[in-house]
Structure 1
Amino acid sequence: MATIDEPGIQTFARRSEPLIEPSFFEPLFKRWKRRVALSENDKAALRSLPWTVKRYPREAYLAREGEPTKICMVLLEGFALRQKLVSDGSRQIISFHIPGDFLDIQNCMLEVADHNVQSLGRSVVAAVPKEALGALMAENAGIRRAIWLDSLIDSAIFREWVVNVGRRDARGRIAHLLCELAARLRAAGLCSGPTCDFPMTQEQIADATGLTAVHTNRTLQSLRKDGLISLSLNKLTILDWDKLAEEGDFNERYLHHSA
């Protein structure tokens, strides 16, 4: 049975509908497999938690800064972003997320959300009470290590974003962001060849790179003109990976795909 939490948001209780299909967690398990040897029992234990499925419309808030933390969420479908707002109403996007990502794993330990999580387009998440996930982590060393590594790699990505906004020029910032997203989608098996899903608007790219919308538009046009990328219909095609990576000073070491 579905219930409506807020306008446009549907929640499906697991007890009434078996919506957590084994395949939903495959992007998460694929990423973890590169770092931790999880058994089938480990995977079954994670799937057996009291998950609920939440479907969010475009730009809906999945978590709000200042609210008590009660759940942890895994993104199953769609894209999401984390953001901070400042007193004048402007925002800084601090990360983008793809299917298989935990969106708020820090909530296992923290009592209050310190930033917002927002859906990019339509998205589907699996939410679990943080106490249930914490108990599983206490009992299961493999799951605990996998989630710990996820948290550390999140921190590595945040460090790289600080460098990107603080030390690269506009062209470098945007090139680096595009390379990162393509590399993460490819590693998750969500991108084949040079073309990937890319639902971000120019405004969102600007807010992620600390640029104005006008400067972002000019920079994207220059990358297109130089034959490095193509952007159309929510798709990104990287036409020259080597040159784009050079422009963005991109080295995917910080993503720890083989950690």
Structure 2
Amino acid sequence: MHAALLQAAERLHQAQLTGQPCAPLRELIASAQADLPQQAAIDLAYAVQRHNNQRAIADGRRPVGHKIGLTSRVVQQQLGVEQPDFGQLFADMARGDGQPIAWTDTLQPKVEAEIALILEHDLTHERHTVADLIRATAFALPAIEIVGSRIANWDIRLLDTIADNASSGLFVLGSRPVPLATLDLVRCGMHMTLRGEPVSVGAGAACMDNPLNAALWLADTQVRLGQPLRAGDVLLTGALGPMVVARPGDSFTAHIQGLGSVTAAFAAAH
């Protein structure tokens, strides 16, 4: 691996260990090879992500699925991309519905409401159909993703967030599984409240027009990378509405039509 990419990976690793956000990575990543086209630079950013994820696995952390980011068309346009990105989920990132979340468990947290899909079968085709995905999905759950950036002040561009495991932090899943047959994933409304006051509103269509579109993109991408999605994987399909900055003591509840609700409750800072 190029020395600049190793330096970027180490910068992120130290930020995670120390709880001190680091400087942006995009110039380091771009310096690994001059005059890169965008896709090649993106591949290098994913190489940084993989390096740190492999280190995490070697340290005993258990992968349990993936998150999909940049599913909003508006955000894609802002970053000049035409596709989402993804990051790895680990078991130690999961938090209980309504249970206190230590403020130090992630950096610079923001929250967003999502639909989580839980797979019952592997997805190994080179190109999947919606039917393949529906057959492979055991059930859906309401979810709150707590995104966190190891990069100071959220000063990120595309290469920064990809390298930083797609700005993954923590996640909270609801506990009432719902089969896809009973859901309208496009028209389902979402509203998220903070201490009972609405702070984010959206619908399934906000996630690439349909959360299944995001999941299909991930399934095909992972097969190309030689790491197909497997039974039991948790897929956080992408935000249904604007993300919201979290502060110590905040309690957010996401209500998703047909799925019920889920709560992410932050403990007070000490």
- Scaled by the length of structure 1, the TM-score of the pair is 0.29
* Greater RCO structure (CA 8 Å; 6+ sep): 2
- Relative to total residues, which structure has the larger strand share, 1 or 2? 2
- Scaled by the length of structure 2, the TM-score of the pair is 0.29
Query: Which of the pair has more CA radius of gyration?
Result: 1
